[in-house]
A and B are shown apart, each in its own frame.
Chain A
């Protein structure tokens, strides 16, 4: 008996830190969030079960419009990031050799040595009314007065794509590295053109990398707070801002918790849908 329980006890002991982390930092807060979101404060310290907080979300247009807008812009950011990152990853994985390869990869990594806050302020220095780009355009004589390039959707998008780049490039490089060059040659040799090689061979081969990159970028973008707030200003209407407002400004934890739960459902739903559409399983994607 001792022999058979011995290793099992050891396994549990080894698993304890992991299980504790999962339970205390992820499972417990989310359950508590769900709990808070499902109650209504009647008077001081007295609560009852209610769905009012969720009802509020659907009846107040500002809330669900922000919600849909956030989801839509996150999807768009993911797609744009993919379109830019794919050629970059292809170049680093397949074209560049030796030292250049390492240098280029490092170049992708370097911006992430400073915090996201600092990077976003960097964008503000460039794009604000009295910023570098505005001054340069005036100096060239292309515009008459100062141009404000902050606080619009395009700028928010640029910021989000910039922030997400690395998280798309890394999984793509990893999968494309494994693609045997002769497979691309075979695609040509058997009568295909460049288009066939890309869509029949390269993209299907890179699919696990594409999907895992997209999931990470989408989640990060959806949950981003800094970039939309700083680059989009007051009108950026990002759903995380709504959550922040409910929790901090209005001190309405019940409403904020309901929004948090909704955001979790939304991201899970879209990721699930993306996996279904691309025909990938979550396990395969994550094991890459």
Chain B
């Protein structure tokens, strides 16, 4: 991967009448990387992608691909191609005709087109489907054909608009890995938009978390997960127990927070520094960061006891819903699939603990 920049957006804005869909977005994507834009529906990610593809003109700001401005250039003249949400394969053409469509538009000679289509089919691992019609393909095959149809044109940037959304879970898991491999095999810059954090985290080199038209945080998946910079990212990426409360005490970077239901937690400041006493804060603790035990311990910064209210069984992803003894507040904790907890049942008393740095605390009111 070279450090050359394939796509750069500067101060990108898009307004629809009075509604600001994209607000002052800046990013640059190095060549050959997998960049995801993650956000809830309605956050403006589709608008952003359509601006990159050329279907929408930005209200203000600049889009550059390999240093060349894309403003005013129609979609058929841009070195970007798009894999649509519902793929938009042409049903009246065969697989080979679908892939050849873009090459034909470039006035390429027939034998050359045939050769390239064959090699593209080979590279996506479907060498014999050229003569089939689109309706004869399975969901996963269609995905790969849609991607091949774009990649055969050797675009500088490939845009993907949640193409895995319509697949069932097993196939989606499989296609995540497949997509990542394809991206590495073709060494093309991918921009992938999704509302599914797992898709974004598994595949991407860099993820941008988008909310209400803005980028909240851009970084590697690990960064977003371990060091969320805003309460939105902390809540959106991964699961979290969220508490609202106010600061009662601080010692250096460690603050003590009392929640609305009266729990006392200790947390370390990370991004929002200098939290003052009485200040309203949001505190996040991931269910997988909480340690469970049958015996009471006091080695950690936060120690609680509670009763198992419910077991939310989901295989390796199972949770316990625990009601805290003193205040009656509810917490979600990951149920470890180890011998020790194999016989947990409703009503059992358990002890929970975690350290100050394992939770995130933010000033509330900055963002939802």
Contacts and interface: CB of A to CB of B under 8 A. Distances in A.
B75 A185 contact: yes
Interface of A: 180, 182-183, 185-193, 196, 200-201, 204-205, 207
B299 interface: no
Contact of A191 (B53, B86, B106): B106
Contacts of B90: 183, 186-187, 200-201, 204-205
Contacts of B91: 205
A260 B214 CA distance: 73
Nearest to A194: B76
A190 B81 contact: yes
A189 B101 contact: no
Most buried by A among B55, B76, B84, B93: B76
A277 to B, nearest CB: 16
Interface of B: 53-55, 74-76, 81-82, 84-86, 88, 90-93, 101-102, 105-106, 149-150, 153
Nearest to A203: B92
Contact of A204 (B54, B55, B92): B92
A190 B92 contact: no
Nearest to B106: A191
A196 B105 contact: yes
Contacts, number: 57
A190 B149 CA distance: 8
A86 to B, nearest CB: 17
A188 B75 contact: yes
18 contacts: A182-B86, A182-B88, A183-B88, A183-B90, A185-B75, A185-B88, A186-B82, A186-B88, A188-B76, A189-B82, A190-B102, A190-B105, A190-B153, A191-B106, A193-B76, A200-B90, A204-B90, A205-B91
B55 A192 contact: no
**A-B pairs with lowest CB-CB distance, top 8:** A190-B102, A191-B105, A186-B88, A182-B88, A182-B84, A204-B92, A183-B88, A188-B75
B354 to A, nearest CB: 46
Contact of B76 (A189, A200, A201): A189
Contacts of A192: 76, 101-102, 105
Nearest to A183: B88
A183 B85 CA distance: 11
A190 B75 CA distance: 8
Nearest to A196: B105
B91 to A, nearest CB: 7
A192 B75 CA distance: 9
Contacts of A182: 84-86, 88
B101 A185 contact: no
A131 to B, nearest CB: 47
A76 B243 CA distance: 75
Nearest to A190: B102
A183 B102 CA distance: 13
Residue among A186, A190, A192, A200 with the most chain B CB within 10 A? A190
A286 to B, nearest CB: 18
Given A182-B86, A185-B55, A185-B84, A191 B92 contact: no
Contacts of B85: 182
B53 A189 contact: yes
A180 B101 contact: no
Nearest to B101: A190
Given A190-B102, A205-B90, 18 more contacts: A182-B85, A182-B86, A182-B88, A183-B88, A185-B84, A187-B90, A188-B76, A189-B53, A189-B54, A189-B82, A190-B76, A190-B149, A190-B153, A191-B102, A192-B105, A193-B76, A204-B90, A205-B91
A191 B88 contact: no
Most buried by B among A186, A187, A196, A204: A186
A205 B134 CA distance: 13
A193 B55 CA distance: 13
A190 B83 CA distance: 10
Nearest to B90: A201
Contacts of A186: 82, 84, 88, 90
B81 A189 contact: yes
Nearest to B53: A189
A185 B76 CA distance: 9
Contacts of A191: 76, 102, 105-106, 153
Contacts of A204: 90, 92-93
A196 B81 CA distance: 17
B112 to A, nearest CB: 15
